[in-house]
Amino acid sequence: MAGKQTEKGFPDLSTVRDIGIAAHIDAGKTTLSERILYYTGTKHKIGEVHDGEAHMDWMEEEQAHGITITTAVTQCPWKDHLIQVVDTPGHVDFTIEVERAMRVLDGAVIVMDGVRGVEPQTETVWRQASRFAIPTMFFINKMDRPGADFERALSTIRGRLGVEPVPVTVPVDGGVLHLLDECFLRFEGEMGEEVVSEPVPARYQSLYDEQREALLLALGDYDEEIADAALMGEPVDRERVVRVLRACCLERQLFPALGGSALRNQGVQPVIDAVIDLLPSPMDCKAVQGTDLEGNPVEVLMDPTAPLVALAFKVQLWDGRRHVFARLYRGQLEPGDKVLMAGKGEVERVARVFDVDSHKKNRLHRAVAGQIVLLAGLRHATTGDTLCAPDEPVLLEAIQARDPVLGLAVEPESSREEDKMHEVLRKVLEEDPTLQYIEDEDTGQRILRGMGELHLQIVKERILREFGLALRFGRPYVVSRETVLGQAKASGAIDRVFEISEDKSIELKASAVAEVRSMERGTGNQAIVEPEVLGGTLSNAQRDAVVAGATDAMVGGPIEGSPLQDVQVQILQVTLFGEASSPQALRIAVAEAVRNALSGAGGVLLGPIMKVEVVSPEESLGTVLGDLQARQAAILDSTTEHGFASLVAEVPLEKLIGYATDLRSLTRGRGQFTSEFDRFDVCG
Domain residue limits, the chain: 16-278, 288-396, 406-479, 483-601, 605-681
Position 56 scores a pLDDT of 47
The answer, yes or no, to whether residue 45 has pLDDT greater than 60, is no
CA distances from 497 to 491, 505, 577, 583, 592 (A): 20, 7, 13, 15, 18
The answer, yes or no, to whether residue 558 has pLDDT greater than 60, is yes
CATH class of 406-479: alpha beta
List pLDDT tens digits, range 385-422: 899 999 999 998 887 777 777 888 888 888 888 888 88
The answer, yes or no, to whether residue 606 has pLDDT greater than 70, is yes
What gap in Å lies between CA 108 and CA 40, rounded to an integer? Answer: 18
3-state class (DSSP) for residue 183: strand
Min mean pLDDT across 124-128, 181-185, 576-580, 591-595 is at: 124-128
List pLDDT tens digits, range 451-486: 777 788 888 888 888 888 888 888 777 888 899 988
When pLDDT is averaged across residues 638-643 and rounded to a whole number, the result is 80
Position 70 scores a pLDDT of 58
When pLDDT is averaged across residues 584-593 and rounded to a whole number, the result is 94
DSSP string, 440-480: -TTT--EEEEESSHHHHHHHHHHHHHHH---EEEEEEEE--
The answer, yes or no, to whether residue 1 has pLDDT greater than 80, is no
Q: Which of 663, 643, 647 is nearest to 655 (CA)?
A: 663
Position 493 scores a pLDDT of 93
Q: Residue 60 gets which letter from DSSP? A: H
Report, in this order, helix, strand and coil percent for the chain, each rounded to 5.
30, 35, 35
Position 43 scores a pLDDT of 60
> What is the band of 68 on the pLDDT scale with cuts at 50, 70, 90?
very low
The answer, yes or no, to whether residue 135 has pLDDT greater than 70, is yes
**C-alpha angle 222-227-228 in degrees, rounded to nearest 5:** 145
- Which string of b and e fits 494-506 if b means at least 16 CB within 10 Å? beeeeeeeeeeee
Position 588 scores a pLDDT of 94
CATH code for residues 605-681: 3.30.70.240
Position 57 scores a pLDDT of 44
The answer, yes or no, to whether residue 72 has pLDDT greater than 80, is no
> What is the band of 50 on the pLDDT scale with cuts at 50, 70, 90?
very low
> What is the band of 487 on the pLDDT scale with cuts at 50, 70, 90?
very high
What gap in Å lies between CA 260 and CA 459, rounded to an integer? Answer: 35
Q: What percent of the chain has pLDDT over 90?
A: 40
- The whole-chain average pLDDT of the chain stands at 86
Phi, psi dihedral angles at 520 (to 5 degrees): -60, 140
Confirm if 459 and 428 have CB atoms less than 8 A apart.
yes
Q: Are 406-479 and 605-681 in the same CATH fold?
A: yes
**May I ask the CATH architecture of the domain 288-396?**
Beta Barrel (2.40)
Min mean pLDDT across 36-50, 51-65, 205-219, 508-522 is at: 51-65
What gap in Å lies between CA 169 and CA 167, rounded to an integer? Answer: 6
List pLDDT tens digits, range 618-633: 898 899 999 999 999 9
List pLDDT tens digits, range 520-541: 887 888 888 889 999 888 999 9
3-state class (DSSP) for residue 74: strand
* Domain covering 483-601, topology: Ribosomal Protein S5; domain 2 (3.30.230)
* Domain covering 16-278, topology: Rossmann fold (3.40.50)
Helices 95-104 and 120-131 meet at what angle, rounded to 10?
30
List pLDDT tens digits, range 301-351: 988 889 999 998 888 877 778 888 899 999 999 999 999 998 788 899 999
Position 46 scores a pLDDT of 60
3-state class (DSSP) for residue 259: strand
